[in-house]
Amino acid sequence: MAPIAAADIPSLGLLYKLKKLDKAQTTPHNDRIGLIRGDITTLAVDAIVNAANNSLLGGGGVDGAIHRAAGRGLVTECRTLKGCDTGSAKITDAYNLPCKKVIHTVGPVYDDLRPERSEAALRGCYRSSLELAVQHGLKTIAFSGISTGVYGYPSLDACQVACDTVKQFMDQNGKKLDKVIFVTFEAKDVRSYDSTLPLYFPPDTETSVDQEKAAEDQAAEAEATASKLPDVPTTDPADADPDHAQKKQKHDGES
């Protein structure tokens, strides 16, 4: 399968425009957020983010797919890194992958007795990966759904943490990155991102497009009505018709 370039991955801004939800590039981050479903190893972006384990020596899931596609050079370099803490990230070359670098982050094994600890660690994964990308001058970065596979983080909760952390980072450092891409693989994650992304990166709302159209229609209607109205009299009708006052008095007297 041919590698997919960052520019060919649809941004939220484009998706909103296709759905006629967005007027223009008015919501700051929408053209810098990408969404694609597929195999992250096929993306020709600056960096892909691997959902690794503390050893950084490979495993199953996306980690296994990345190591297989990269070739032996990746695990050889990973050995020199001496592992990675949960919630942190380290960077390597990409070897046979079409991307330039691989950022390896270690998500939490979801702890449903202490969800706040899992959340803090997952935030750390996204934040430290973004920081590494910026430090290395990487402009386009694609995230797999960290911890949402065998580490058991509920998809919707993980997605909210991912969107919120990326949004906060972009609010502060947005211009340093050209595109942050969320890569979904399974249907549950597709559903989570479809419902969550518009909450964190809203379109320049449907209502505002509708309201603008309604305001235009109203103005046109008002203009049409105004053109049909008689001119406003500039003098008192009684002055223009001297009999009028008498007629009126007579009429009032009859009733």
3-state SS, 92-136, equals EECCCCCCCEEEEEECCCCCCCCHHHHHHHHHHHHHHHHHHHHHC
Least distance between ligand AR6 and beta carbon 167 (Å) = 20
* Residue span 57-96 as binding mask against ligand AR6, x where in contact by CB under 6 A, dash where not: --xxxxx-x-------------------------------
What does DSSP assign to residue 2? -
The answer to whether residue 121 forms part of the interface with ligand AR6 (CB under 6 A) is: no
Specify whether the CB–CB gap between 21 and 43 falls below 8 A: no
Task: Return the residue of 33, 166, 183, 197 that touches ligand AR6, per CB under 6 A.
Answer: 183
Task: Return the residue of 9, 33, 40, 91 that touches ligand AR6, per CB under 6 A.
Answer: 40
Instruction: Pick the piece of the chain touching ligand AR6 (CB under 6 A) from 74-82, 126-134, 143-151, 159-167.
Output: 143-151
Helix/strand/coil for 240: helix
What does DSSP assign to residue 48? E
Task: Return the residue of 16, 126, 143, 151 that touches ligand AR6, per CB under 6 A.
Answer: 151
The answer to whether residue 149 forms part of the interface with ligand AR6 (CB under 6 A) is: yes
The answer to whether residue 107 forms part of the interface with ligand AR6 (CB under 6 A) is: yes
Specify whether the CB–CB gap between 138 and 46 falls below 8 A: yes
Residue 174 burial (C-beta neighbours within 10 Å; 0-12, 13-18, 19+): middle
The answer to whether residue 216 forms part of the interface with ligand AR6 (CB under 6 A) is: no
Pick between residue 60 and residue 73 the one whose CB is nearest to ligand AR6. Answer: 60
Task: Return the residue of 30, 128, 148, 192 that touches ligand AR6, per CB under 6 A.
Answer: 148
The answer to whether residue 146 forms part of the interface with ligand AR6 (CB under 6 A) is: yes
Least distance between ligand AR6 and beta carbon 217 (Å) = 46
Helix/strand/coil for 155: helix
Least distance between ligand AR6 and beta carbon 131 (Å) = 19
Residue with structure tokens 């997919």? 4
Pick between residue 21 and residue 97 the one whose CB is nearest to ligand AR6. Answer: 97
The answer to whether residue 128 forms part of the interface with ligand AR6 (CB under 6 A) is: no
For the chain, the first-to-last Cα distance in angstroms comes to 94
Whose CA is closest to 87, among 51, 48, 113?
51
Structural element, H or E, at residue 51: strand 47-52
Pick between residue 107 and residue 203 the one whose CB is nearest to ligand AR6. Answer: 107
Specify whether the CB–CB gap between 201 and 31 falls below 8 A: no
- How many residues interact with ligand AR6 (rule CB under 6 A)? 25
List interacting residues with ligand AR6 (CB under 6 A). 39-41, 51-53, 59-63, 65, 107, 144-151, 183, 185-186, 189
